[in-house]
Amino acid sequence: MPADLNLSLRPTTAADLDILFRFQLDPEAIHMAAFTPKDPADKQAYISKYTRLLSDPTINNQTILLDGVIAGSIAKFIMEGEAGITYWIEKQYWGRGVATAALTQFLKLETTRPLHARAAFDNRGSQRVLEKCGFVKTGEDKGFANARQGETVEYIYRLG
């Protein structure tokens, strides 16, 4: 972690959801994530979904704090029997090592292995974060990306 980052993680609470919802409204961030809900601006759907997920014991939701301010989120989830990770960093913090530092800390808290991750083919920032944290590219997949309204390739990564 860069020496100038005062970064910490804590369990996500329902009180965090309004802020985290606003982060995922940024058009550039939506494009980079690619595989988003049909309507990322539907706040009611977002709050409902994440309120439900906060009580799921198979999910490890953490809020990323930078100097005590919410800077993003990171989570382990189970999909199709495999543990995966996802993270979302507020755009103003991109390129500052926040995602790498958060994922490094998260991997100390979340010991499930193997862990899987995916990144859109053109999301080099996210690909670099995964690779710096020890994830290895194992393949690729193609699927319909709501944010791009078309088929999009995403790279598949694995740790452990």
Percent of the chain residues topping a pLDDT of 70: 98
Task: Determine the straight-line distance between the first and last CA of the chain, rounded to whole angstroms.
Answer: 21
pLDDT at residue 34, as a whole number: 87
**pLDDT digits over 100-149, tens only?**
999 999 999 999 999 999 999 999 999 999 999 999 999 999 999 888 98
Please report the domains of the chain, with CATH numbers, ordered by start residue: 7-159 (3.40.630.30)
Q: How far apart are CA 106 and CA 85, in angstroms?
A: 10
Number of other CB atoms surrounding residue 70 within 10 Å: 19
Number of other CB atoms surrounding residue 156 within 10 Å: 16
Burial class (CB in 10 A: 0-12, 13-18, 19+), 5: middle
Q: Are 113 and 103 in contact (CB under 8 A)?
A: no
Mean pLDDT of the chain: 94
pLDDT at residue 3, as a whole number: 57
Is the pTM value of this prediction over 0.85? yes
pLDDT at residue 2, as a whole number: 55
Confidence class of residue 35 from pLDDT cuts 50, 70 and 90?
A: confident
Strand partners, 141: 154
Q: Which helix (H) or strand (E) holds 19?
A: helix 17-23
Confidence class of residue 1 from pLDDT cuts 50, 70 and 90?
A: very low
Q: How far apart are CA 63 and CA 89, in angstroms?
A: 10
At a CB cut-off of 8 Å and minimum separation 6, what does 73 contact? 12, 16, 20, 23, 61, 62, 63, 64, 87, 88
Pairing label, strands 150-159, 136-145: antiparallel
Percent of the chain residues topping a pLDDT of 90: 88
**pLDDT digits over 36-55, tens only?**
888 999 999 999 999 999 99
**pLDDT digits over 60-89, tens only?**
999 999 999 999 999 999 999 999 999 999
